[in-house]
């Protein structure tokens, strides 16, 4: 690809993304979503977060305790905190502190 083609592609995709997002914002006042769709949309953020986090937890890293990866252990601890508290800051904070603590302690 030549340089102008790359820039044309980037600008074109930015315009398409902007148009798609803008259409939802502009149409939000004129349309109402069915209750089934509204209920389904509540699961989008957790699904996106799981799609981002799960591959990182499943991918092997250098820090491990025997067969267990430290990131997996920290992820399990964060999952327990999320289940008990339902707080996102507590979940992220606990997961990161667990990972850093285990890395410092065992690394």
Give whole-number Cα distances, 62 to 56, 65, 70, in Å: 13, 10, 9
Model confidence over 53-97: pLDDT tens digits? 878 777 766 555 556 678 888 888 998 999 999 888 999 899 999
Q: What is the pLDDT of residue 61?
A: 63
Residue 56 half-sphere exposure toward CB, CA atoms < 13 A = 10
pTM of the full structure: 0.54
């Amino acid at each position: 690809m030549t340089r102008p083609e790359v820039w044309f592609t980037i600008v074109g995709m930015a315009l398409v993304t902007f148009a798609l997002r803008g259409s939802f914002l502009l149409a939000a006042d004129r349309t109402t979503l069915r209750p089934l769709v509204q209920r389904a949309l509540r699961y989008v953020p957790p699904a996106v977060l799981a799609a981002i986090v799960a591959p990182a937890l499943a991918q092997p890293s250098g820090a491990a305790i025997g067969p267990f990866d430290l990131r997996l252990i920290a992820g399990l601890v964060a999952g327990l905190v999320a289940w008990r508290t339902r707080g996102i800051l507590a979940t992220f904070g606990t997961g990161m502190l667990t990972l850093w603590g285990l890395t410092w302690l065992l690394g």
